[in-house]
Amino acid sequence: EEFISYAFQLDTIIVDENNEYYTDVDGVLFDKEMKTLITYPSGKPETEYIIPNGVEKIGDHAFDDNQKLESVEFSDSIVDIGDWAFFKCVELSEVVLNDGIKNIGIYAFTFCKNFKKINLPDGLLTIGDSAFAECESLSPSMIIPDTVTSIGEWAFSGCIALISVKLPAGLSVIKKGLFNGCECLSSITIPDSVTAIEDEAFRY
């Protein structure tokens, strides 16, 4: 309890302008070239954030455990969402992804319990293990673009509000636990490319 009470106090990061490797913008930490967003301080009071143009990657754990952010808008330059990037951002309800996104890392949005809607853009290639697990408010209809060739284990497990899903045309394996615990799921479209369905894919 003592650790939790202090964990969200950091509200700004300031980097000396002479530092050769890192920089900050409005208290958010980036690499010097502004290609990677490294850390968004959990104590920042804002509820909305627009990622600056030029950023290509959301770093691992960049926003995790944030208790305040409700909306994040991506710049057009972003390609990768790192592992655990928005893990347990419990107030996050909306993320607007750009069309250039290629990869969503493992546990990227896990336990974002108020997350209601996400646009998965054409051009997306991979969705990591447990990427959207336990997003219990995730919108009732999910269309995964045909450019996606890999969806990780347990990626949508525990998405209890999910009602219908259309899987991408090039998918070959429905991996372990993919829709485990999706108790309201009533319709799923499986393409003719699927050759294997692993254990617990549709359990509960």
What is the pLDDT at residue 139?
Answer: 84
pTM of this prediction?
0.92
Contact 139, 160 (CB under 8 A): no
What is the pLDDT at residue 3?
Answer: 42
What is the pLDDT at residue 6?
Answer: 46
Can you tell me the distance from the alpha carbon of 159 to that of 109, in angstroms, rounded to the nearest whole number?
A: 12
> Over the chain (204 residues), what is each successive 10-residue block's mean pLDDT?
53 96 97 97 94 97 94 95 97 91 98 92 96 95 94 98 95 97 95 96 92
Phi-psi region of 177 (alpha: psi -120 to 50; beta: other; left: phi over 0): left
What is the pLDDT at residue 195?
Answer: 97
* Nearest by Cα to 45 from 1, 12, 22: 12
3-state secondary structure of 2: helix
What is the pLDDT at residue 179?
Answer: 97
What is the pLDDT at residue 8?
Answer: 61
What is the pLDDT at residue 48?
Answer: 96
What is the pLDDT at residue 4?
Answer: 45
